[in-house]
Chain A
Amino acid sequence: MNQFLDFSLGGIANGAVIALMALALVLVWRSSRVVNFAQVGQAMFTTFISLWIYEVSGSWLLALLIAICAGAILGLVVHLLVMKPVRRADASGAIIATFGVLIALQAAAGMIWGGDPKAFVPPVANSGLEFAGRIWPVSWYDLLIFAVTSVLVLALSYVFTRTSFGLAMRASALNPEVARISGVRVSRMLILGWAMAGSVGAIAGVLIAPSATLSPNSFDLLLVFAFTAAVIGGLDSLVGAVAFGVGTGLVLSLVTGYSDASNAPIVSLVLLVVILLMKPDGFFSQSKSRVV
């Protein structure tokens, strides 16, 4: 029982990062109906930038802020330079194009920063806390991850449900034509969706980097897990992305704990297939109730 508790607790921080990356995928899906496989590439790229700022300035907070800005800008660039022209030509080509962007970003990062893994030193201790006479599988850094994620999710849900901007964003996602004839500048909402996704992904990248090392390919597995979480959550649901992001983190931690870390991606994909077979719309999808 103790072991189960340890494995579960150990998965929460990881799950929070998966949730953030899943959120980024959902934000892009809601604005353009495209799964952006380049999202982890963008996050990897901004994390390298962030690491550089961190090493130069010594301030983790500044590094995080720069990552957020760089993520937004990179999201804009990918949307305007690649996705917009491609979508005009052929809608199904867009998904292939996101893979192209991913590969291009990884190659560019390799050329700039080299392929050797780099260490991203966490700003606070990353070793298990001692509390009530035992060592727990939760560190100060895990708590920081959890705090940043919670604040971000709360802020996003506030923006989406309580502000005019959020209403316009949601309308553009649910029904672009109705949004347009209501006076919403839909193309602007689309651009903002990509920028927001870029920022959220960038935060996820900076948060996860200290758990491993940073290299051009180090976020590839994160893509698999985030994609699983986003799809199971219904792809267009922020709540679903967060819930199943954390859930995926838990399951992976249990699998890793009881068997072996190399089984985690397989379990994640099997889970995805099984759940999609039972519930093709995912759990929180809003679109299934629509009548066209």
Chain B
Amino acid sequence: MLHIHNLTVSYGQVVALSEVSLEAPRGCVTAVIGANGAGKSTLMRAVAGLIIPKSGQVTFDGSDLVGVATDERVRRGLVLVPEGRSTIAEFTIEENLRLGGLWRSRFHQRESIAGVFDLFPALAKRHKMLASTLSGGERQQLAIGRALMAEPTCLLLDEPSLGLAPLIVQQILELAQQLAIEKNLAILLVEQNAVTALRVARTGIVLNLGEVVLHGPAQQIAANKDLRHAYLGY
């Protein structure tokens, strides 16, 4: 379970996140939505330990993560899938996957790879090919697959829909929901694509200019017309 308490991040004078609090329980998707520049990616990078917050707390499974390096967070089961299909183009599909769990025993690595290939048969067929030969949607699958190699308990999905066709977006977000339920993962999903994100999430959080403006059941947020007009632009 992931707890974020009064998290504040600033880039120099610019405050990117201001006292953001939320929690992502296991077994469901928690969606953070908001327009461009709302601070969504900053939130994800701060939780992953890639940027150091100015103040506030991130607790994961009961322990405070202040001063814990990104790689150590990954080893504890808190794994980020960053924006923009972050695979290594020069690596084969198999190498990209192996990278996600190198510190684990050979046996566990093999087990996890088999699990990922079950989930994404398209990757299994081409495991010796370079990641650069994959389509956008497949590369997103590969990035998620690599994160699963760490055997995480919490996944941070940063805009997995970016630049993908609507049908693929739907598939990827439904997959997030399926993973949360079947593997009992805590999934924190950041999305611009509010409609689909709220459909798969249990709880929704609306972020605007670095602040939480609304926090509640996803269905309620999806039904709130005024709010959609004001913050989500549809």
> Which A residues lie at the B interface, using CB under 8 A?
164, 167-168, 170-171, 174-175, 177-186, 286, 289-291
Residue of A178, A180, A185 near B88 (CB, 8 A) is A178
Given contact pairs A177-B50, A181-B82, A186-B71, A168 touches B89 in the complex (Cβ within 8 A) = no
Minimum distance in angstroms from B157 CB to a CB of chain A: 12
Given contact pairs A181-B48, A181-B74, A182-B99, A286 touches B90 in the complex (Cβ within 8 A) = yes
| A261 CA to B82 CA, complexed, in Å | 54
Q: Is the CB of B74 within 8 A of A167?
A: no
A-facing residues in B84-100 (Cβ within 8 Å): 86-91, 95, 98-100
Q: Is the CB of B80 within 8 A of A181?
A: yes
Which residues does chain B contribute within 8 Å of A291, judged by CB atoms? 89
Residue of B86, B89, B91, B103 near A289 (CB, 8 A) is B89
Which residues does chain A contribute within 8 Å of B164, judged by CB atoms? none
Count of B residues near A, CB < 8 Å?
27
Which residues does chain B contribute within 8 Å of A180, judged by CB atoms? 50, 70-71
Q: Is the CB of A164 within 8 A of B79?
A: no
For residue B100, which residue of chain A has the nearest CB? A182
Given contact pairs A177-B50, A289-B132, A184 touches B89 in the complex (Cβ within 8 A) = no
Which residues does chain A contribute within 8 Å of B132, judged by CB atoms? 289
Looking at chain A's contact residues, the main secondary structure is: helix
Q: Is the CB of B102 within 8 A of A184?
A: yes
| A71 CA to B180 CA, complexed, in Å | 50
Which residues does chain A contribute within 8 Å of B82, judged by CB atoms? 177-178, 181
A-B contact pairs, 28 of them (CB 8 A): A164-B102, A167-B91, A167-B95, A167-B102, A168-B102, A170-B90, A174-B88, A174-B90, A175-B86, A177-B50, A177-B82, A177-B86, A178-B87, A180-B71, A181-B48, A181-B82, A181-B86, A182-B74, A182-B102, A182-B146, A182-B150, A183-B71, A183-B75, A183-B101, A184-B71, A184-B102, A289-B132, A290-B90
| A291 CA to B87 CA, complexed, in Å | 11
Looking at chain B's contact residues, the main secondary structure is: loop
Which residues does chain A contribute within 8 Å of B70, judged by CB atoms? 180-181
Which residues does chain B contribute within 8 Å of A186, judged by CB atoms? 71
Given contact pairs A167-B95, A289-B132, A183 touches B90 in the complex (Cβ within 8 A) = no
| A171 CA to B74 CA, complexed, in Å | 16
Most buried by A among B50, B86, B88, B146: B88
Most buried by B among A184, A186, A290: A184
Q: Is the CB of B90 within 8 A of A289?
A: yes
16 A-B pairs besides A177-B86, A178-B87, A182-B99 with CB distance below 8 A are A164-B98, A167-B95, A175-B86, A181-B48, A181-B80, A181-B82, A182-B74, A182-B146, A182-B149, A182-B150, A183-B71, A183-B75, A186-B71, A286-B90, A289-B90, A290-B89
Minimum distance in angstroms from B196 CB to a CB of chain A: 24
Which residues does chain A contribute within 8 Å of B98, judged by CB atoms? 164, 167
For residue B102, which residue of chain A has the nearest CB? A164
Q: Is the CB of B79 within 8 A of A181?
A: yes
Which residues does chain B contribute within 8 Å of A185, judged by CB atoms? 69, 71
Which residues does chain B contribute within 8 Å of A168, judged by CB atoms? 99, 102
Minimum distance in angstroms from B117 CB to a CB of chain A: 18
| A37 CA to B80 CA, complexed, in Å | 37
Given contact pairs A167-B98, A168-B102, A289-B132, A181 touches B50 in the complex (Cβ within 8 A) = yes
Minimum distance in angstroms from B138 CB to a CB of chain A: 15
| A290 CA to B146 CA, complexed, in Å | 19
Minimum distance in angstroms from A166 CB to a CB of chain B: 10
| A291 CA to B134 CA, complexed, in Å | 13
For residue A287, which residue of chain B has the nearest CB? B90
Minimum distance in angstroms from A95 CB to a CB of chain B: 25
Given contact pairs A167-B95, A177-B50, A289-B132, A183 touches B89 in the complex (Cβ within 8 A) = no
Q: Is the CB of B88 within 8 A of A171?
A: yes
- How does the 8 Å CB contact mask read for B29-64 relative to A, with 1 for contact and 0 for none? 000000000000000000010100000000000000
Most buried by B among A177, A182, A184, A289: A182
Residue of B48, B69, B91 near A171 (CB, 8 A) is B91
Q: Is the CB of A183 within 8 A of B103?
A: yes
| A286 CA to B91 CA, complexed, in Å | 11
Q: Is the CB of A184 within 8 A of B99?
A: yes
Minimum distance in angstroms from A220 CB to a CB of chain B: 34
Minimum distance in angstroms from A88 CB to a CB of chain B: 14
| A291 CA to B86 CA, complexed, in Å | 11
Q: Is the CB of A171 within 8 A of B71?
A: no
| A206 CA to B48 CA, complexed, in Å | 46
Which residues does chain B contribute within 8 Å of A184, judged by CB atoms? 71, 99, 102
